[in-house]
A and B are shown apart, each in its own frame.
Chain A
Amino acid sequence: MMPELIIEPETLKFKGDRVRLNVRMPWYRALPLSSVADVRWTVDGRPVPRESITWTVDGATYRLDDLPPRHDKWWYVLDSAEIEGDLIAFDRDRHDVAVTLSLYIPYITTDRGVLLIEESDAKEMAA
């Protein structure tokens, strides 16, 4: 749902060997952090290593593997999540950014388990 809103325009930042970006939820209601199943993220075609990615909402920062047990914390639908990971910038003015978010939808349980959606966005921006 609304995948084209995932990447917040012009929020890419490099600092040392880290890269940072704001992402929005491709869904319409607050989700528990346990819903965030995966983040796949590339900058200029180079993947940001999954194990280096941190996820910050409401001032609290988590590694991706720390999110699944956090059904006690929420990602509100109007709040950006700030993701950060290891990547050294290519020296160029504009960067190609691509993000895929995998999210469990906690009220849609079917014969195939809890619904897991996967939504992707790609944008070009300055850093």
Chain B
Amino acid sequence: MIQGVTLYSFTRAFHQRRYGFADLVREVARRGLGPGLELVGFQSIKGFPAIGDEFADRFRSLMDETGLTPTCLSANADAGLRRDRLLTDDELVDYMRPQIAAAQKLGFPVVRVQISLAPDDMERLLPVAEEHGVRLGLEIHSHQHPKHPAIQALLERYEKLGSPLLGFVPDWGASLRAVPQTLLRRYRAAGVSEELLEALVATWQEHHLEGPPMTEQQHGRWFGQVMQLAHRHGAGDRAIEMAVNFTGLFGHAPVADWADVLPWTVHTHAKFYEIDETGDEPSVPVRELVGLWVSHGYEGSYSSEWEGFHWNDWDDPFEVVAAEQALIRAAEGNR
């Protein structure tokens, strides 16, 4: 396997201008968080997806200097780019082309793409992937999950096309076992009432028993339910964020559900929120996930993706990433 990290984990430090792009990459290398390096194009590179020759040269030199290996370029399928309407399929396919070309120019073997792309779109992008010699991995991200009809439809198309250039990027955030404690700590500190916190957790647990949503309507109902709950408790403009967190980020897929898509997995987002004093991740079942990945012979890359930064401004992101990487290595070794 190739262990590594996505620069997304360091969003807060980058956003606060504490590290420029090159310095952040160097810090990742210095702390031994590679060798795999992933980045979000629209985050790390101003003007993306246009990549100038000078930037590409500097990026390749930076990889040589640090010994890091590009694993995945995260692209975005911005179907909601316009206010008057969603992009058409033709427009969305065209929107992805320069992002795929950017991956080749920077030396990334995999491009993460997103759920707005339907099976027909992926089929139309296959020649683009072939032209640029990269693999396309559609991210399976909460609130979607491996058994979601949209993912199953893609899987069916992949099996029909049989190309090694089309696949998935599983994101472990689709398989939480508990609400992150650090989020509850943050809400408490911000004065959110215990009653609301208990009700949010209880609602998440009810959804967990129900299982991951099989339709967009079901997810929509859950979203509305959390919004109403938050408003009833006077959460004000935090209500949207709560609904996004509790129905959009903290997914309910049983670990075993990933077995279907592992043969088509081209890269993995080892999403996590927190590491406790025993070195475990209380909300994401990292050991079980790695166990399943290994038992299916996965030998690809893992990007540690720390999403706790949304609310956690007290932990050192480099240290929590190192701790998750140690957990992944231990889980691999135990197999």
Contacts and interface: CB of A to CB of B under 8 A. Distances in A.
27 contacts: A1-B241, A1-B310, A2-B12, A5-B16, A24-B15, A29-B43, A30-B42, A30-B46, A71-B83, A78-B17, A104-B83, A105-B80, A106-B81, A107-B77, A107-B80, A108-B248, A109-B80, A109-B86, A109-B116, A110-B219, A111-B219, A113-B80, A114-B79, A115-B244, A117-B241, A119-B237, A120-B237
Interface of B: 8, 11-12, 14-17, 40, 42-43, 46-48, 76-84, 86, 114, 116, 216-217, 219-220, 223-224, 237, 240-241, 244, 248, 309-310
Contact of B40 (A29, A32, A118, A119): A29
Contacts, number: 93
A29 B80 contact: no
A107 B114 contact: yes
A115 B216 CA distance: 14
A29 B42 contact: yes
Interface of A: 1-2, 5, 24, 28-30, 32, 34, 68-69, 71, 74, 76-79, 100, 104-120
Given A2-B15, A78-B17, A118-B237, A28 B83 contact: no
Contact of A68 (B15, B83, B217): B83
B244 A28 contact: no
Contacts of A112: 220, 223-224
Contacts of B14: 78
Given A5-B15, A32-B81, A110 B114 contact: no
Given A1-B310, A2-B15, A34-B81, A111 B220 contact: yes
B43 A28 contact: yes
Nearest to B40: A29
Contacts of A116: 240
A71 B15 contact: no
B308 to A, nearest CB: 12
A28 B116 contact: no
A123 to B, nearest CB: 15
Given A74-B47, A107-B114, 16 more contacts: A2-B309, A29-B42, A34-B83, A76-B47, A77-B15, A77-B43, A107-B78, A107-B79, A108-B80, A109-B79, A109-B86, A113-B80, A114-B79, A114-B80, A115-B244, A119-B241
Contact of B80 (A1, A74, A104): A104
A110 B8 contact: no
Q: Which residue among A2, A5, A69 has the maximum number of chain B CB atoms within 10 Å of its CB?
A: A2
A102 B64 CA distance: 41
A79 B84 CA distance: 26
A77 B15 CA distance: 7
Nearest to A34: B83
Contacts of B17: 78
A2 B43 CA distance: 15
Contacts of A113: 80
A100 B143 CA distance: 27
B149 to A, nearest CB: 14
A120 B81 CA distance: 23
A78 B83 contact: no
A110 B116 CA distance: 10
A-B pairs with lowest CB-CB distance, top 4: A114-B80, A111-B220, A106-B78, A29-B42
Nearest to B310: A1
A104 B81 CA distance: 9
A5 to B, nearest CB: 6
Contacts of A120: 237
Q: Which residue among B12, B82, B220, B224 has the maximum number of chain A CB atoms within 10 Å of its CB?
A: B82
A124 to B, nearest CB: 18
A106 B15 contact: no
A76 B82 contact: no
